[in-house]
Amino acid sequence: MDAVPDLVRHVIHYGNHLIVPFAIGALLWRKNWRVAGLIMVTTILIDLDHLLADPIFDPDRCSIGFHPLHTIWAAVVYAALLAIPSWKWRAVGVGCLWHLCTDALDCWLNGTWG
């Protein structure tokens, strides 16, 4: 796939990080959708692992599989959070997994997947 124009890619990427979590929260935790959405939005903090990279930001680098909190092993931990019988911890797990999906989509749209 040819790379998608940057503006479109950024709108999709940041919309998925900052808006879609509230829709997911409304679907999964209707009574607490606002708090669930905020919890899921805060999972963007896993991007702090970008500070370990040199350079910190590389527009041509796919974060999936490169940064430690963006690996399959991290995804296993995030999925394990779904087994905790607390909706808040499950929201953290869903948020982190959604974050990885969002970043994977961005890699694909940017032509850096694989």
List, for the chain, all residue ranges whose pLDDT scores fall below the cut of 70.
1-3, 114
User: Could you tell me the pTM of the whole model?
Assistant: 0.94
Q: DSSP for 90-114?
A: HHHHHHHHHHHHHHHHHHHHHT---
pLDDT at 64: 97
CA torsion angle 76 27 22 24 (round to 10): 30
pLDDT at 113: 84
Tell me how far CA of residue 90 lies from CA of 3, 53, 93, in angstroms: 34, 29, 5
Short-list 98, 89, 97, 99, CA closest to 29: 89
Q: Amino acid identity of 97?
A: L
pLDDT at 60: 86
Residues 56, 60, 62: CA angle, nearest 5 degrees: 75
CA distance 52 to 34: 32
